[in-house]
Structure 1
Amino acid sequence: MTGNSHDDCQVLLLGGVSGTGKTTVAAEIGRQFGIPWFQVDDLRLALQCSKVSLPEKTEALYFFADIDEKPRIWQQPPDVLRDALIATGDVLSPALEAIIENHLDQRHPIVIEGDGIMPSLLARPAIQRRAHDRRLRAVFLVESDEQALFSHMLVRSRGPSWMDESELRTEAHVKWLFGQWLVDEANRYSLPVLEPRPWETLIHRIMTTCTGMARSTQTPPIVEQPR
């Protein structure tokens, strides 16, 4: 993944549910190949916190903003919360499109990870015009076991302190619903989906899934459970 040859991958998108190892994997791939990696969360937070003026119909970006001030948010119906995650990704897609275009045009390799990456992003016309030679690849990480998502949330100790177990379980269920939606969407656009477990082989499975990215040397395993 150096971007030196015509058919080498220059932009790798790692989408999927929160808590499936995207950040850990992106950092490790960046380290191995000596290229930068970028969190979509940074883009989302920059837009939310800076209060910049955005076009109409982008209110979904703020659904999960300032979550500490919304103690009842996880008491809403799970399908509403899942749709809010999807809507957030849709709002971020034009900005991600611009970032991807720039890196493909400038031939500057990068790994971009985040649950705000929607499979439909790769169907946007400007992306398709630049992705015909496979310089752009995407993989989606989806955990099919809802209990595993919940257990991982407890290990990570993520979430506001006011969330009780029922709300944490609702969040885990929402992530599971979002994951199932991602699987359907990825299949719709013929994009690969991987289970994050076993953690130890995740990087290698991603690299071999993205044909042409795997190194001749064996990829070192992840020795810790991803963030």
Structure 2
Amino acid sequence: MTATSWDILLIGGASGVGKSRAAAQLAGEPGESKGFVVEFDDVVSAVEAMTSAEHHPALHHFDGIPDTERLGVDRVLDLQIATARALEPAVLGVVRNRLTVDVPAVIEGDYLTPAAAAEAIREGRAAGRRVRAVFLHEGDPDRITANYASREPDSGDQRHRAEVSAAYSHWLAGQAARHGLPVVECRPWDGLAGRVERALGQDGPVMSDPGHTLGP
């Protein structure tokens, strides 16, 4: 059906680590489409738009916080992790829909948790489909700050955001290892897609996580 080793590929990672570029490369080179990219950030925006803090507080931790730089990095990280966990059912909803379509897809986003990815792999296996997952890692806030400056030159200094992103990247990497999912260092940027493909051929069995139940 496809020249890839997957039918659905989940690419998780913190903001500013190169997920979108890697997803585009893995979905297909120019003139050779292997699939298409689903940006989970779009799903997050839709979910937030149709819910409220009153009825779905777990999805609106950042409402009423116009400037997250006023909060410490650890506090923002805690809120980000809580939001990601609350969005796990949405991740699985997207995957379940893709399981009904005989076209490969790459799903990428900041809020893909290893727990959700591991469950998606199990559901894919039960459906006879190849669902795979990989997490990109960049733990250096200086590098992420530089990435933001290059990508968003008019946004000013984003050091605090980069520090949160680096901390979140470390958390994701630790959780991915706990679930037996591959973690790939983002640098060097050249060859990242190839390293991801190799990692997908080497990852071990998906492990269970008795300490975490998927989000509400």
Match of 2:85 among 83, 90, 99: 90
Match of 1:111 in 2: 106
1:61 is displaced (CA, Å) by 2.4
Match of 2:125 in 1: 131
Distance 1:100 1:2 in 2: 17
Q: What are the residue-to-residue correspondences of 1:12-27 with 2, within 5 Å?
A: 12-27=9-24
Question: Deviations for 1:127-185, whole angstroms, at most 9, x for unmatched residues?
Answer: 523236670111101102221111111212278x5x6x4xx222111111111111110
Distance 1:96 1:11 in 2: 12
1:34 is displaced (CA, Å) by 3.3
Query: Residue 102 and residue 211 in structure 1: after superposition, are their counterparts in 2 closer, same or farther (change >3 A)?
Result: same
1:63 is displaced (CA, Å) by 3.2
Query: Residue 55 and residue 128 in structure 1: after superposition, are their counterparts in 2 closer, same or farther (change >3 A)?
Result: farther
Distance 2:59 2:86 in 1: 6
Contact preservation (8 Å) 1:101, 1:127: no
1:193 is displaced (CA, Å) by 0.6
Match of 2:199 among 200, 204, 209: 209
Distance 1:20 1:184 in 2: 16
TM-score under structure 2 length normalisation: 0.80
Match of 1:29 in 2: 26
Q: Over the residues paired in the alignment, what is the CA RMSD in angstroms? A: 2.8
Contact preservation (8 Å) 1:3, 1:107: no
Q: What are the residue-to-residue correspondences of 1:176-215 with 2, within 5 Å?
A: 176-211=166-201
Structure 2: unaligned runs, 5 residues or longer: 203-216
What letter corresponds to residue 57 of structure 2 in structure 1? E
Query: Residue 85 and residue 109 in structure 1: after superposition, are their counterparts in 2 closer, same or farther (change >3 A)?
Result: same
1:3 is displaced (CA, Å) by 7.8
What letter corresponds to residue 92 of structure 2 in structure 1? E
Match of 1:157 in 2: 152
The alignment covers a number of residue pairs equal to 198
1:61 maps to 2:59: yes
Query: Residue 209 and residue 127 in structure 1: after superposition, are their counterparts in 2 closer, same or farther (change >3 A)?
Result: closer
SS in 1 for 2:16: coil
Distance 2:149 2:113 in 1: 26
Match of 2:75 among 68, 71, 80: 80
Structure 1: unaligned runs, 5 residues or longer: 213-227
Distance 1:203 1:114 in 2: 16
Which runs of 4 or more aligned residues in structure 1 lie more than 6 Å from their structure 2 counterparts after TM superposition?
none
Match of 1:217 in 2: none
Contact preservation (8 Å) 2:3, 2:34: no
Query: Residue 11 and residue 101 in structure 1: after superposition, are their counterparts in 2 closer, same or farther (change >3 A)?
Result: same
Query: Residue 53 and residue 62 in structure 1: after superposition, are their counterparts in 2 closer, same or farther (change >3 A)?
Result: closer
